[in-house]
């Protein structure tokens, strides 16, 4: 009923507005259409300019409103490059934006219809076309140049000393696996997945798996100043590891392994001071629609010093031990010396 | 009445119509069904497309208002939602499942059903025959089929809104495996099957229409209407059709393979999946393959949406500036450039899918290259109004708004097209802001400019100007108020397609601005309803046309009678002697020379 009243009310308002519009149409005819049209035209030209000026003010206000809500400084080297490039692009596009919009609205005002003016028949000019083909082309070339330099840096292979951490998406949380003492992630197979005691489908016949640690609370620990390489996978649908504070993201695609690496430069504790927010936390946001719980697929990253990290790591027990409490003692011991310290993820099917 | 029932006396247009018995404009009462429903008159079909498009636009926009309520006020319950959506909004709070269904269907409806079928279908049908001097389309019957396939697609899509598990909810791009597996989401059930069937029929409709537009433009031009005397609207609609014909079949194949994966146990897109407590047997497929197939249409689709607006804005700007379009040939060349490049940039939607970075860099280069013809067009539009005599009728305002929005949205494309910046901005609100401004609002502005400008040709009446001005100013300001702040949210990393941000330390500070955006969205939605109201009332009550050529335009559609019958011109189809933008002194005090006027002695053709 209330819906019906609402709709009737809206229609009633429309009818009234339409009647006013209609009345002004008749009034124009009575008062001499040519004159009224000229008045309206002048009013509109004025309104367009007013709108432009108000728009500039609005941009300023909007900027002030958001100033303190934006992301803090980038928390990794490539992120700093990212911000610099972003600002360059913003300046280039900002200038073009202001100039073209200002000219557009200024022309609207300046060249509003007038009986006195005869229009200038100006159909083409190869010189002008050449100028405004070349200048954007050069500007684009510069932006592409900066972009590709940064792109190849971000997507370059991770340094050999990088810590390897696997992050696997599932509806609707992140599973994080550390290679353990042997520094090597063991094989896994989606057919061996079992939500009770093998969430990632680790192949227990692979000894590298026996010391792997899996965090199911979506909390990832990394060491400040040390490159970290994420090996990204998915159990079910496509997810995306979004790291806004590090200015990067990468899809997690079932059947394909993707990677992402960065060197965190600011610990979580320092960031709490920088942002003056005691609750600050680096967040991992799923950035690819993955179903009804997509918006709640949250992970966190704790960036800490080596000492804090070692302490935390020492408190973790292997997934094999936690998933098979009884069998834990029987877990094959891993000999530290066959575990190369180098980054080796070749055991995981790479594509 | 059938198409062959048109006597064609004019030269050039005669072939293709053999049997002829009487004129279309004779006082011959047609049965209601043949005149209004199964009509083969391109003008009637264009109205059918437009009205169906308007209905879809209202549904699609209403969906956005509903999910904006959730985004703006996640802690508030709206009892009216429950009365409208029932179980999907228990207690007045939208469920996440239906939130995603609304988001998905909002995108599908507006991209395909409104801005593709509603836009191209309306204006290609209306303008191609009228502006090139043809009695009708090359195949009026195929043209009718095109509408009815669109109608069938619409019915199926509409049904999908009412099935128990809800409509598709995997985003308008419907990426598998989410869209392929019933276990992955409610919307991937029967709603998704209906979505795929609807889209398959939609592709058929689009191909039937597109082939018709292309052959009409190439074969049915009146005497003297060389390709370089065609108005830019026709050039734009022609390339729109070319884009559609070459890219929609690829979507079709993608859709068919997805149907196979869903129902026949194939593994085109599926590999190594554990879902619903069990490992699926699929191995060896690639989820990324679907994205390639989808975006091979998806990106040209953006230009399918944009080009008609570009063409119509060019026409409206020139007419209401009383000046020729600046750089006619540059405009055509840039259209060709955009059309070619449109096929070579699709993977810029996939920079972060794990695609080879080298391949990504090629797509960066090609994507930023497409900015060049776009920039040329903008500068040409601005030069067109320079030293003109601007008449600000609603059509002109929307064309100017189109240019403003196209600049704003185009510039943010430079951020997203550059993979090194996209790696952070991808799938954030920045993307939403970018594409809504550039291909949502801007394309709509092109469409509104077209509707206000050609409404007199469609119905022999004017729309009300006052309402048009209200419509323009509120929509224009509203569009910027809605989407400008979203850029900031996106730069702050706020992901799109989130139902609720309150649990996120990084994004929850935007709650109040989200509420503001929702309120503006509601206002803008109501103003669009006002436009629809103006449209419908003006069809019956609008001020009647007293002159054939109300805007003082040079093109052929304004040489037809005020209410043209089927066949468009009484007597011969006029012959064309000059280009369509001769807005200059005609020697008798007028400020334009129609295309049908022969060159004066000593006058050079353009």
Condensed to tens digits (0 to 9), the pLDDT of residues A266-298 reads 999 999 999 999 999 999 999 999 999 999 999
How many structural domains comprise chain A? 2
Residue A143 touches chain B, beta carbons under 8 Å? yes
Taking CB atoms and an 8 Å limit, are A10 and B466 in contact across chains? no
User: Does position A351 have pLDDT exceeding 50, yes or no?
Assistant: no
Q: Examine the domain organization and report whether A95 and A209 are in the same domain.
A: no
Residue B464 touches chain A, beta carbons under 8 Å? yes
Asked if residue A22 is part of any domain, the answer here is no
Determine contact, residues B480/B465, Cβ cutoff 8 Å.
no
User: Does position B498 have pLDDT exceeding 80, yes or no?
Assistant: yes
User: Does position A341 have pLDDT exceeding 60, yes or no?
Assistant: no
Q: Looking at the DSSP assignment, which residues form a beta bridge with residue A223?
A: A304
Average pLDDT rounded to a whole number, residues B342-353: 94
Average pLDDT rounded to a whole number, residues B14-30: 48
- For residue A149, the chain B residues in CB contact (below 8 A) are 420
Residue B28's pLDDT band (boundaries 50, 70, 90)? low
What CATH number did the domain enclosing A149 receive? Answer: 1.10.287
pLDDT given for residue A155 in this prediction: 93
pLDDT given for residue B74 in this prediction: 92
Determine contact, residues A89/B344, Cβ cutoff 8 Å.
no
Q: Examine the domain organization and report whether A223 and A326 are in the same domain.
A: yes
Q: Examine the domain organization and report whether A200 and A135 are in the same domain.
A: no
A282-286 and A258-262 strand pairing:
unpaired
User: Does position B275 have pLDDT exceeding 90, yes or no?
Assistant: yes
pLDDT given for residue A95 in this prediction: 95
pLDDT given for residue A327 in this prediction: 53
Q: Examine the domain organization and report whether A189 and A224 are in the same domain.
A: yes
Asked if residue A131 is part of any domain, the answer here is yes
Mean pLDDT, all residues of chain A: 89
Taking CB atoms and an 8 Å limit, are B385 and A107 in contact across chains? yes
Percent of chain B with pLDDT over 70: 95
Determine contact, residues A168/A240, Cβ cutoff 8 Å.
no
Asked if residue A312 is part of any domain, the answer here is yes
Q: Examine the domain organization and report whether A282 and A191 are in the same domain.
A: yes
Distance CA A320, CA A135 (A): 62
pLDDT tens column, B565-585: 888 999 899 999 999 999 988
Determine contact, residues A173/A297, Cβ cutoff 8 Å.
yes
* C-alpha distance from A2 to closest chain B C-alpha (Å): 9
Asked if residue A268 is part of any domain, the answer here is yes
Taking CB atoms and an 8 Å limit, are B275 and A101 in contact across chains? no
Q: Examine the domain organization and report whether A147 and A177 are in the same domain.
A: no
The secondary structure of residue B201, as a DSSP letter, is H
User: Does position A156 have pLDDT exceeding 60, yes or no?
Assistant: yes
pLDDT given for residue B601 in this prediction: 83
Nearest to B166 by CA among B99, B259, B101: B101
User: Does position B553 have pLDDT exceeding 50, yes or no?
Assistant: yes
Distance CA A253, CA A234 (A): 5
pLDDT given for residue B106 in this prediction: 96
B92: CB partners within 8 A, 6+ apart: B77, B78, B79, B80, B81, B82
Three-state SS sequence of chain A: CHHHHHHHHHHHHHHHHHHHHHHHHHHHHHHCHHHHHHHHHHHHHHHHHHHHHHHHHHHHHHHHHHHHHCCCCCCEHHHHHHHHHHHHHHHHHHHHHHHHHHHHHHHHHHCECCCCCCCCCCCCCHHHHHHHHHHHHHHHHHHHHHHHHHHHHHCCCCCCCCEEEEEEEECCEEEEEECCCCCECCCECHHHCECCCECCCECCCCHHHCCCEEECCCEEEEECCCCEEEEEEECCCCEEEEEHHHCEEEEECCCCCEEEEECECCCHHHHHHHCCCCCCCEEEEECCCCCCCHHHCEEEEEEECHHHHHHHHHCCCCHHHHHCCCCHHHCCCCCHHHCCCCCECCCCCCC
Average pLDDT rounded to a whole number, residues B50-75: 95
Asked if residue A17 is part of any domain, the answer here is no
Mean pLDDT, all residues of chain B: 91
Q: Examine the domain organization and report whether A286 and A146 are in the same domain.
A: no
Q: Does domain B33-273+281-559 have CATH number 3.40.50.720?
A: no
Burial class (CB in 10 A: 0-12, 13-18, 19+), B152: middle
- The ranges assigned to domains in chain B are 33-273+281-559
Distance CA B135, CA B130 (A): 8
User: Does position B30 have pLDDT exceeding 50, yes or no?
Assistant: yes
Region of B286 on the Ramachandran plot (φ > 0 left; ψ -120 to 50 alpha; else beta): beta
Interface of A with B in 178-217 (CB under 8 A): 190-191, 193, 195, 201
Burial class (CB in 10 A: 0-12, 13-18, 19+), B230: buried
User: Does position B8 have pLDDT exceeding 70, yes or no?
Assistant: no
Residue B581: CB atoms within 10 A of its CB come to 27
What ipTM describes this predicted complex?
0.91
Instruction: Provide the domain limits for residue A142.
Output: 35-63+71-114+123-156
Q: Examine the domain organization and report whether A219 and A304 are in the same domain.
A: yes
User: Does position A339 have pLDDT exceeding 90, yes or no?
Assistant: no
Q: Examine the domain organization and report whether A176 and A141 are in the same domain.
A: no
Taking CB atoms and an 8 Å limit, are B466 and A137 in contact across chains? no
Residue A324's pLDDT band (boundaries 50, 70, 90)? confident
- For residue A256, the chain B residues in CB contact (below 8 A) are 271, 286-288, 354
Q: Examine the domain organization and report whether A235 and A256 are in the same domain.
A: yes
Asked if residue A100 is part of any domain, the answer here is yes
The residue among A105, A189, A249, A296 with the most chain B CBs within 10 A of its CB, best to mutate, is A249
Mean pLDDT is lowest, of A93-97, A118-122, B421-425, for A118-122
pLDDT given for residue A217 in this prediction: 92
What CATH number did the domain enclosing A205 receive? Answer: 2.60.40.420
pTM (two decimals): 0.92
* C-alpha distance from B572 to closest chain A C-alpha (Å): 31
Taking CB atoms and an 8 Å limit, are A237 and B178 in contact across chains? yes
Asked if residue A181 is part of any domain, the answer here is yes
Average pLDDT rounded to a whole number, residues B244-254: 95
Q: Examine the domain organization and report whether A171 and A140 are in the same domain.
A: no
Q: Examine the domain organization and report whether A109 and A226 are in the same domain.
A: no
Interface of A with B in 314-333 (CB under 8 A): none
Asked if residue A213 is part of any domain, the answer here is yes
């Amino acid at each position: 009923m209330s819906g019906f009243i609402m709709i009737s009310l809206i229609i009633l308002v429309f009818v009234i507005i339409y009647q006013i519009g209609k009345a002004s149409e008749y009034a124009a005819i009575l008062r001499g259409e040519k004159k009224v049209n000229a008045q309206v035209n002048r009013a509109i030209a004025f309104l367009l300019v007013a709108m432009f000026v108000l728009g500039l003010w609005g941009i300023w206000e909007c900027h002030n409103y958001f100033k303190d809500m934006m992301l803090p400084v980038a928390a990794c080297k490539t992120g700093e490059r990212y911000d610099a490039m972003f600002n360059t692009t913003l300046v280039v596009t900002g200038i073009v934006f202001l100039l073209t919009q200002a000219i557009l609205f200024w022309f609207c005002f300046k060249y509003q219809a007038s009986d006195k003016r005869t229009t200038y028949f100006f159909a083409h000019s190869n010189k002008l076309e050449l100028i405004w083909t070349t200048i954007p082309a050069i500007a684009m070339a510069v932006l592409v140049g900066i972009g590709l330099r940064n792109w190849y840096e971000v997507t370059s292979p991770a340094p050999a000393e990088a810590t390897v951490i696997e992050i696997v998406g599932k509806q609707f949380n992140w599973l994080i696996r550390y290679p353990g003492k042997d520094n090597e992630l063991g094989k896994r197979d989606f057919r061996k997945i079992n939500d009770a005691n093998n969430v990632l489908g680790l192949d227990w016949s692979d000894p590298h798996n026996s010391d792997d640690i899996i965090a199911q609370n979506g909390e990832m620990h990394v060491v400040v100043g040390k490159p970290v390489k994420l090996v990204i996978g998915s159990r079910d649908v496509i997810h995306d590891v979004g790291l806004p504070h590090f200015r990067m993201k990468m899809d997690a695609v079932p059947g394909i392994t993707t990677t992402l690496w960065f060197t965190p430069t600011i610990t979580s504790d320092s960031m709490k001071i920088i942002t003056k927010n005691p609750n600050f936390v680096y967040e991992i946001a799923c950035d690819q629609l993955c179903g009804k719980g997509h918006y709640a697929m949250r992970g966190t990253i704790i960036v800490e010093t080596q000492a804090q990290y070692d302490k935390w790591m020492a408190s973790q027990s292997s997934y094999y031990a936690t998933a098979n409490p009884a069998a834990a003692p029987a877990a094959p011991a891993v000999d530290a010396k066959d575990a190369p310290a180098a980054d080796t993820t070749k055991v995981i099917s790479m594509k | 009445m059938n198409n062959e029932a048109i006597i064609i006396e004019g030269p050039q247009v005669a072939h293709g119509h053999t049997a002829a018995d009487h004129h279309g404009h004779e006082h011959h009462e047609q049965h209601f069904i043949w005149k209004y429903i199964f009509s083969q008159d391109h003008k009637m079909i264009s109205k059918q497309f437009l009205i169906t498009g308007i209905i879809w636009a209202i549904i699609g926009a209403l969906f956005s208002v509903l999910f904006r309520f959730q985004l703006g006020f996640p802690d508030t319950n709206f009892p009216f939602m429950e009365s409208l959506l029932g179980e999907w909004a228990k207690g007045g709070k939208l469920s996440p499942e239906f939130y995603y269904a609304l988001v998905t269907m909002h995108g599908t409806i507006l991209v395909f059903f409104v801005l593709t079928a509603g836009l191209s279908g309306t204006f290609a049908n209306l303008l191609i025959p009228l502006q090139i001097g043809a009695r009708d389309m090359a195949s009026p019957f195929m043209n009718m089929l095109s509408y009815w396939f669109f109608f069938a697609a619409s019915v199926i899509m509409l049904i999908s809104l009412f099935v128990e598990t809800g409509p598709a909810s995997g985003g308008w791009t419907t990426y598998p495996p989410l869209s392929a597996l019933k276990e992955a989401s409610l919307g991937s059930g029967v709603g998704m099957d209906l979505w795929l069937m609807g889209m398959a029929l939609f592709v058929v409709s689009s191909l039937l229409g597109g082939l018709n537009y292309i052959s009409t433009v190439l074969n049915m031009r009146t005497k003297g209407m060389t390709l370089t005397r065609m108005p830019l609207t026709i050039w734009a609609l022609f390339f729109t059709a070319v884009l559609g014909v070459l890219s929609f079949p690829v979507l079709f194949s993608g859709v068919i393979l997805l149907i196979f994966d869903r129902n026949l146990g194939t593994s085109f897109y599926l590999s190594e999946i554990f879902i619903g407590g069990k490992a699926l047997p699929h191995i060896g497929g690639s989820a990324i393959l679907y994205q390639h197939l989808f975006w091979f249409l998806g990106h040209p689709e953006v230009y399918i949406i944009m080009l008609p607006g570009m063409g119509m804005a060019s026409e409206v700007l020139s007419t209401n500036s009383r000046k020729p379009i600046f750089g006619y040939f540059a405009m055509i060349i840039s259209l060709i450039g955009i059309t070619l490049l449109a096929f070579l940039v699709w993977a810029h939607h996939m920079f972060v899918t794990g695609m080879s970075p080298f391949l990504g860099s090629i797509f960066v280069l090609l994507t930023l290259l497409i900015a060049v013809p776009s920039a040329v067009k903008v500068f040409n539009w601005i030069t067109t109004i320079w030293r003109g005599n601007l008449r600000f009728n609603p059509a002109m305002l929307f064309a100017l708004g189109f240019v403003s929005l196209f600049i704003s949205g185009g510039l943010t494309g430079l951020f997203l097209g550059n993979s090194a910046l996209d790696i952070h901005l991808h799938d954030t609100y920045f993307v939403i802001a970018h594409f809504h401004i550039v291909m949502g609002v801007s394309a709509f502005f092109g469409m509104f400019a077209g509707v206000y400008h050609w409404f007199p040709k469609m119905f022999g009446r004017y729309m009300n100007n006052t309402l048009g001005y209200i419509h323009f100013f509120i929509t224009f300001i509203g569009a910027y108020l809605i989407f400008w702040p979203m850029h900031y949210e996106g730069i702050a990393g706020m992901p799109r397609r989130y139902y609720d941000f309150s649990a996120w330390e990084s994004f929850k500070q935007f709650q109040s601005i989200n509420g503001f955006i929702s309120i503006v969205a509601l206002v803008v939605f109501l103003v669009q309803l006002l436009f629809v109201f103006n449209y419908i009332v003006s069809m019956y009550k609008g001020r009647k046309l007293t002159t054939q050529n109300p805007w003082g335009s040079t093109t052929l559609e304004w040489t037809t009678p005020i209410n043209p019958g089927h066949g468009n011109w009484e007597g011969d189809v006029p012959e064309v002697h000059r280009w369509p933008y001769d807005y200059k002194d005609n020697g008798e005090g007028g400020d334009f020379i129609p295309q049908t006027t022969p060159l004066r002695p000593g006058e050079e053709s353009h």
